[in-house]
Chain A
């Protein structure tokens, strides 16, 4: 999320006016489900302070922290490099077929990290599929390398989508001026373009890094021990919830440090000028540039989409050849579409007060709201699911195992994505328009509906698409909180793969990717629709 931390001189801030009571109330209501898991963890630990020493040794804790930090740092850096470079090629150059490429590079978002890990493992190694086809033995893609590869591939699209949007909307006049004054292209990029991309890069880094921190599926299959794996092990192996809660608190500290670092590094000034809204100049690629761009794009798309898809198809084929009956699970497909669409909608509604608070009323409250949203996003999903389950049983029994609780839990966890997109969109709206509306006698609510929402709804749609793509692959929350009998494709993949029904698992995973083409397409064509 892109919350400015300084109080004065922010474009978009409304100096002199605190947030209205209605806004604070709305933000508070949204933050109840967001804060619930954190409060529950702290509560569990405080209630059992005496037993804290017995979880894991200090050396092991340090080791796990170091491994988590290493993974998050390298995944974030890789996602930034891949995402930004692809965004530049696909937004700022004249490479043919940019729209198709853009959909393709957004697709890895929809592949669950455990499926990506399974397919990478099956592809590599002494008897992997690559060995079968090419006769060349690759080393096994496991351990740190495997976890880094799988998570980089599943998170770089966040950076890509956010920076692509930024590349489209930053004011080209500064770059033109710099170039006119004789600066080299490299210098222009480093001193003019990069600082303007800074908010998008920060938001992308948070979405990628914190996702990597929360991931269990890829790291466990890749056999790379992290904090999250240790937390899952405690949940799986004991009825006592205190050890898992204690470890989760340490994870929260790691997440806060990461978020704090991002907030600190934002700097005070902002180069965004929002008065001009015209497309940035297109960079004409040389033959060599074109070839290089195509190779880079192909490498990413092949590793992140084509390769996993081929392995999945191979599994389906192998199962069918051995006589397995492979079926399309239409019920699970319907369930996936239903819960993902609802989660995207609710997360987007939640994002509106959060975005208004961060953009229009920057300050201490906004900064902490941002941190809270980010921390919950970084938690292992089992932690969130259990907190919501226990809370619902105690206080909202009639809603227990209802789809409402499930959807609110998704929305609370993935709010970071929706709020990030909403915040960026709201920054582009001149607050004077809203002031004028209020000056003309409209209430704040009427102003929101008549002025603000019409101006930012495409940004909201982008956030909704991100949440949709992340929800389709969600597993732990779905397993624990779904209504009995409701199936999703992610659940089918997990259950079939766990019992070694690979053909069925692969078919469900392929359906999952197919379902995700539509929101990925929406994300990518959105800015063109604005211009048209």
Chain B
């Protein structure tokens, strides 16, 4: 029969193709390889502009920040990545702790308020995101909100305030709470939320969608999700409430970037992210807080300088991520 012989040939050539493709998968040296924990929809346009303006070819590996950090740790010194662009300080901190980042130059570090970068100069903040309470304006009167997250363990809020206990930004907030309030108080708060039957969601975006669809009244999220959602659903009922207190619940968390190995293109990329052009993009398109002085945040947002912020070092957070997860598990939220 002719069919199987053809089929075998087809199979053999496909297998050969796989091996060949596998062998030439490693990118050549001229390209800048970025591991991005930020979505392609958000940062893809910035990276494209960078390529156009500098002529540098960029390869991007998009993924989840925590998973990419774990990947970098597994790859170690000879990681193919030149740049790690992450959603949260905790992912950046774990890579910094492994000694994989090159220290950034002082003239780059000086562009951004030091409280939004690593104290040791291993990574630098690019854009700011604030922890807020997103809520349904048709169901909740914002004047009833407590001064900070601690008030949500009150029985009056039972079943009403959603959290995303497995999400990176929530865990970073828990790590910050450990630094500010101590482990005992943090665990008590998590247990209080669990006792209040706080609905749990896998991520911020799911909480916003659930509020919009009337499935839950409020939720602890990052501020820009609501604005992004409104870009496609202008008449959404979801609004943001900013805490007016120096608590972990209203923390400004930067997305940031670190450089791996010595690559001029990587440094150029960091500089580009901190250029007025990119910062304006983050302010206007992704609704985040720009971190260089020359660019203003979206007029609908409370200015960064007016947000009361607790005083602490973001670099402290990274080592606390595992502890934060343990506490979340201990409280019965996993």
| A positions within 8 Å CB-CB of B | 54-57, 60, 118, 121-122, 125-128, 140, 142, 220-221, 223, 225, 229-230, 232-240, 315, 318-319, 322, 324, 342, 345-346, 348-349, 382, 386, 389-390, 393, 398-405, 407, 449-450, 453-454, 457, 479-480, 483-485, 487, 491-492, 495-504
**Interface membership of B328, Cβ < 8 A:** yes
Q: A125-B215, A223-B200 are in contact. Are A484 and B326 (CB under 8 A)?
A: no
Complex Cα distance, B1 from A457, in Å, reads: 12
| CA of A87 to CA of B334, assembled, Å | 40
Set of chain A residues within 8 Å of B201, measured between Cβ atoms: 221, 223
Pick the contact of B74: A393, A398, A399, A485 (CB < 8 A): A393
Indicate whether B277 reaches chain A with its CB closer than 8 angstroms.
Answer: no
Q: Other CB < 8 Å A-B pairs besides A232-B166, A238-B325, A402-B25, 17 of them?
A: A125-B213, A127-B212, A140-B215, A221-B201, A223-B200, A233-B165, A233-B334, A239-B321, A318-B233, A400-B25, A402-B23, A450-B1, A453-B4, A492-B40, A496-B39, A500-B232, A501-B41
Q: Is B3 a contact partner of A480 (Cβ separation < 8 A)?
A: no
B59 on the interface (CB 8 Å rule)?
yes
Number of interface residues of B (CB under 8 A): 74
Q: Taking the nearest CB of chain A, how far is it from the CB of B27, in angstroms?
A: 6
1/0 contact trace for B178-211 toward A, CB 8 Å?
0000000000000000000001111101101110
When the two chains form their complex, are residues A237 and B171 in contact, meaning their CB atoms are under 8 A apart? yes
Prevailing SS type, chain B contact patch: helix
Q: How far, in Å, is B180 (CB) from chain A's closest CB?
A: 19
Judge whether B80 and A401 touch: CB under 8 Å.
Answer: yes
Given known contacts A234-B325, A485-B61, is B71 in contact with A389 (CB within 8 Å)? yes
| Contact among B11, B27, B41 with A495 in the assembled complex (CB-CB below 8 Å) | B41
Q: Is A485 a contact of B60 with CB atoms below 8 Å?
A: yes
For residue A492, which residues in chain B have a CB less than 8 angstroms away from its CB?
Answer: 40
A-B contact pairs, 27 of them (CB 8 A): A54-B326, A122-B213, A125-B215, A126-B213, A128-B213, A220-B166, A220-B202, A233-B325, A233-B329, A233-B334, A236-B66, A237-B66, A238-B326, A322-B231, A393-B74, A399-B22, A401-B25, A453-B8, A480-B63, A484-B33, A485-B60, A485-B61, A487-B40, A492-B40, A495-B62, A498-B205, A500-B232
Q: Which of A60, A404, A500, A504 has the most CB of B within 10 A?
A: A500
Q: Name the residue of chain B whose CB is nearest to the CB of A401.
A: B25
B67 touches A221 (CB 8 A): no
B232 CB to closest chain A CB, in angstroms? 5
For the complex, what is the distance from the CA of A118 to the CA of B17, rounded to whole Å? 37
The A/B interface has a contact count, at CB < 8 Å, of: 201
Give the interface SS of chain A, mostly helix, strand, loop or mixed. Answer: helix
Q: Give the residues in chain A near B41, CB-CB below 8 Å.
A: 495-496, 499, 501, 504
A479-B321 in contact given A402-B23, A499-B205 (Cβ < 8 Å):
no
Given A128-B213, A403-B18, A484-B61, check contact A322 B234 (CB 8 Å): yes
Residues of B within 8 A of A496 (CB): 39-41
Q: Which B residues touch A232, using CB under 8 A? A: 166
- In the bound complex, residues from chain A placing their C-beta under 8 Å from that of B325 are 233-234, 237-238
Contact A239 B232 (CB under 8 A): no
Q: Which residues of A contact B125 (CB under 8 A)?
A: none
Nearest chain A residue, comparing its CB with the CB of B78: A397
With A and B bound together, what is the CA distance between A318 and B329 in angstroms? 39
Report how far A329 CA is from B145 CA in the complex, Å: 43
- Residues on A with beta carbons closer than 8 Å to the beta carbon of B40: 487, 492, 495-496
Chain B's closest residue to A485 (CB) is: B59
Is B56 on the interface with A (CB-CB < 8 A)?
no
